[in-house]
Chain A
Amino acid sequence: MKVRLKIWRQPNATAKGKFVTYDMDSVSPEMSFLEMLDSLNGMLVEKGEMPVAFEHDCREGICGSCGLYINGYPHGPQKLATTCHLYMRVFRDGQTIVVEPWRARPFPVIRDLIVDRTALEKILVAGGYVSVDTGQATESNTTKVSKEHADEAYDSAVCIGCGACVAACKNASAMLFVSAKVSQFALLPQGKVEAKRRVQRMVARMDELGFGNCTNSYACEAECPKGIRITNIARMNREFWKAKVCGQKTV
């Protein structure tokens, strides 16, 4: 099949970017989207041009490295799939495909389609953990956790930190990402002790880094490749106000 690619090219963080058109004449529907880009890059390199820089690593949908904005959708048109799991068979022969980096102020472009997502890590550093020193844990089965809670915590914990939620949101809100972590720990006894401090610190850090507020438009949930539910945001809001109103100390 043939496709026309319009790809965002930007040599570095400060340069002005632009769309460049590439026509691909022999694309196999069995290729993944990233393999199609590999083949474009092979052609560019052989011509001595700089290939399109894009991030990728595991190519099995779990590391969260890849993330392209494809025809207006984070990770492309396929539901519940990362960019690396997007296959060319979902596109039409002759289709024009627009490829952009994540667009959000807290995610500055580094080169072409690569953005800096370390703001997400900075939020986790502000409390996205349980404080337990190595070797101080008690025998696991002394703390029982109901299967329902464990499963729900797991459903929140499967976030891969790709940032699609931020890219999908018109406010560039990171609330789905942050609330998934807050929920995981709020649902488990291990996380309860620090819950009030955690939610306040993480939310404060999120605001400070320039992420916007939730728009209630559910775009994040619709685009999340791991199916993280928006109910996490409701839970985070409850946790947050509980901490503000009932907390002994406001952080």
Chain B
Amino acid sequence: MTKLDSKIPQGPLAEKWTHYKEHARLVNPANRKKLDIIVVGTGIAGSSAAATLGEMGYNVKVFCYQDMPRRAHSVAAQGGINAAKNYKNDGDSVYRLFYDMIKGGDYRSREANVYRAAEVSNASIDQLVAQGVPFAREYGGTLANRSFGGVQVSRTFYAQGQTGQQVLLGCYSGLCRQVDQGMVTMYARRDVLDIVIIDGKARGIVARNLVTGEIERHAAHAVVLATGGYGTIYYLSTLAVNSNATAAWAAYKRGAFFGNPSFVQIHPTSLPVLNEYQSKLTLMSESLRNDGRIWVPKDKEDKRHPNNIPEEDRDYYLERRYPAYGNLVPRDVGSRAAKERCDAGYGVGPTGLSVYLDFKDAILKQGKKAIAAKYGNLFELYHRVTGSDPYEEPMRIYPAGHYTMGGLWVDYGLMTTISGLFAIGESNFSDHGANRLGASSLMQCAGDGYFILPYTISDFLAGEIRTPRISTDNKAFEEAEKTVAERIDKLLKVNGKKTALSFHKRLGNIMWNYCGMARNEAGLQKAYGMVEELEKEFWKDVRVPGTSRELNQELEKAIRVADFFGLARLMITDGLDRKESCGAHFREESQTGSGEAKRIDSQYSYVAAWEYTGDGSAPVLHKEPLVFENVELKERSYQ
């Protein structure tokens, strides 16, 4: 049994990262150009890491499945990016940001990692501003802030409702600069299908060129995965429809442990499911909850138009249940509260699966112009998609699969259990525990890519300066390429009747119903069997037309869906193991009297790191105990 070593540095919390940096091994500039690094994924984490590593003098190769890095799904983050600048003078500090994240994550994250994420947050803002990211400003010319769910300070920097786009484009511009200078080579339109391990170290990847269909080998001294989350496992989610888990899953199958796979954040404010054809759930930024009030009618039978329902007949259920935080409760709490109302029959809209998000009071108080300045583009988006005008009537919203706190297990240096394989951004499990607070994902991605990985990967590469360039002729490459080619061949040969997408929809349904916002023992067990059955059916009845040697989008989909089956089972297995509720993981068997998540710290205060042991056999659970030296574990209360 492999021992998990999180390699947390000794010393007081606030000094750990400084101590680490001061003692990490360095690579001499002359040696850096002899070392190759592969970065997979070009969102905020991947782009910022690749740009920084290129700038340091390493040879960097970057891979993405899109035609250009700028399209990675970080682009869709709306609300903002947190930092502990305390520009609002409301008592914010690195410690408070750390504390809010630990508490928001329901005490299931590592203190040292979270503290470091908070610690580097300010530098990320400075970096992005210097790159020309046009964050919102006050009339005096200083940066503006707003508040976000789950906290009591205003520490969120934003660019209207398109912060992710602006931050990503900032990171991408840095990447372009390194491409210009010849330090980074771009490999766009590639799906990374396997990780190549030589003598126990990650030394390369096998990728499919999505235009020619050619299987390519790429070697390096270290591999960084910045491949994002796996929320598309629900089929309908707020993610880009091509987002996938394939590279991370390949890493898992090659020996990287998967941390807390069942921890998935269901975002409370998405557009509801409107029809059976829908391919996507569009997010409505959480920032809307700053001014919007969420309600349902007090009477189940009240079918009046929302504008005709008077105040006294409305149930502002978040304000009622959580007076201290009101509409700004953390996402998991907000999502469950919406589900609770809808399950009880108070939901609105044709399906009964939505609640109102109302701006009437805010418009009356601040004026339409002020609301338009803050949320104009979101209101237009809503109007365009639904045909209803949120200035005139309340929005209808419902929770949707959004962010995966789970991901590849990494140590303090962001290295997975495979030596030389790193995971950053959403693809790792590390900073958000069982629930992520709003605007902390951009913060983590930029922090990982700009300020953390460059130090930790250098510490690893310092031991590699005598390793010559890795050759792609190595047997391990041959074996990986063969595995990939055989699998593709197998998919093409099934020649069944159903599309990959139809399987994806069905899988998504199973996961949403049994491993979504609420889980229980019987449901999870049932879902496990259903996923197994569906996978069998997939391999008997999927139809992938065309060949592997051409641009073949059906093949791309089929490969991604095929990987989701295994991941779905792993999520369910993890959900079964964790019999407590914590954060977004809500086990119905474990709740408080008022229906809140009830943690069982004595038994479950650990990170579940799962080890792959073969397709036919059960994964092995390794527990990383979570030790809290700086915060006291409390029942998370937002009342």
Contacts and interface: CB of A to CB of B under 8 A. Distances in A.
Nearest to B274: A30
B68 A48 contact: no
A127 to B, nearest CB: 7
A134 B127 contact: yes
A158 B384 contact: no
A200 to B, nearest CB: 14
Contacts of A89: 387
A150 B75 contact: no
Interface in A17-76: 28, 30-32, 34-35, 38-39, 41-42, 44-46, 48-51, 53, 55-65
Contacts, number: 217
Contacts of A85: 381, 384-385
Interface stretch (B139-147, B326-334, B335-343): B139-147
A102 to B, nearest CB: 12
A126 B177 CA distance: 8
A57 B142 contact: no
A191 B67 contact: no
A118 B68 contact: yes
Interface in A130-185: 130-141, 143-147, 150-151, 153-154, 157-158, 160-161, 184-185
B126 A134 contact: no
B366 to A, nearest CB: 17
A62 B280 contact: no
Contact of A60 (B129, B134, B280): B280
A207 interface: no
Interface string A110-134: 1100101110110011111111111
B356 to A, nearest CB: 20
B134 A129 contact: no
Contact of B180 (A44, A127, A134): A127
B550 A12 contact: yes
A113 to B, nearest CB: 11
Given A65-B67, A125-B176, A184-B134, A140 B129 contact: yes
A145 B277 contact: no
Contact of A57 (B140, B211, B241, B543): B241
Contact of B131 (A35, A65, A129, A154): A129
Contacts of A154: 134, 136, 159-160, 166
B277 A38 contact: yes
Contacts of A145: 137, 141
B554 interface: yes
Centre residue among A49, A57, A125 by max chain B CB count within 10 A: A57
Given A45-B543, A62-B76, 8 more contacts: A39-B277, A65-B67, A87-B384, A118-B188, A125-B176, A129-B180, A136-B130, A153-B134
A121 B70 CA distance: 9
B89 to A, nearest CB: 12
A11 interface: yes
Interface string B207-220: 00001000000000
A191 B132 contact: yes
Contact of B554 (A45, A139, A158, A191): A45
Contact of B165 (A31, A41, A116, A158): A158
Contacts of A188: 132, 134
B279 interface: yes
B143 A140 contact: yes
B610 interface: no
A31 B160 contact: no
B173 interface: yes
A219 to B, nearest CB: 22
Contact of B66 (A65, A128, A132): A65
A222 B258 CA distance: 48
A34 B96 CA distance: 44
9 nearest CB pairs, A to B = A144-B141, A137-B130, A129-B173, A137-B126, A59-B280, A154-B134, A153-B134, A150-B137, A63-B71
Contacts of B211: 110
Contacts of A161: 68, 70-71
A30 B393 CA distance: 20
B428 interface: no
A49 B545 contact: yes
B279 A59 contact: yes
B279 A35 contact: yes
Interface in B302-323: none
B275 interface: yes
A237 interface: no
19 contacts: A12-B551, A31-B277, A35-B279, A41-B499, A58-B73, A58-B240, A60-B283, A62-B75, A62-B162, A111-B551, A121-B68, A127-B180, A129-B173, A130-B132, A134-B51, A137-B129, A144-B141, A145-B137, A147-B137
Contacts of B451: 134-135
Interface in B123-173: 123, 125-127, 129-143, 159-160, 162, 165-166, 169, 172-173
Nearest to B186: A121
Contacts of A50: 545-546, 552
B477 to A, nearest CB: 27
Contacts of B242: 56-57
B553 A51 contact: yes
Contacts of B454: 134
Interface of B: 48, 51-52, 55, 66-68, 70-71, 73, 75-76, 85, 87, 123, 125-127, 129-143, 159-160, 162, 165-166, 169, 172-174, 176-177, 179-180, 186, 188, 211, 240-242, 274-275, 277-280, 282-283, 380-381, 384-385, 387, 450-451, 454, 497-499, 501-502, 543, 545-546, 550-554
A133 B142 CA distance: 22
Contact of B169 (A31, A87, A131, A157): A157
Contacts of B129: 137, 140, 143, 190
B76 A38 contact: no
A68 B175 CA distance: 28
A82 to B, nearest CB: 10
A81 interface: yes
Contacts of B545: 44-45, 48-51
The listed residue with most A CB atoms (<10 A of its CB), out of B129, B139, B140, B499, is B129
A38 B179 CA distance: 35
Contacts of B85: 140
Contacts of B275: 28, 30-31
A91 B228 CA distance: 36
B50 to A, nearest CB: 11
Contacts of A125: 176, 179-180
A42 B67 contact: no
B127 A132 contact: yes
Given A45-B543, A137-B129, A147-B141, A59 B241 contact: yes
A137 to B, nearest CB: 4
Q: Which residue, A58, A61, A136, A146, has most C-beta atoms of chain B within 10 A?
A: A58
B251 to A, nearest CB: 23
A131 B177 contact: yes
A119 B447 CA distance: 30
Contacts of B552: 50
Contacts of B55: 133-134
Nearest to A157: B134
A58 B75 contact: yes
Contacts of B554: 45, 51
Contacts of B123: 135, 137
Given A28-B277, A63-B240, A131-B177, A46 B543 contact: yes
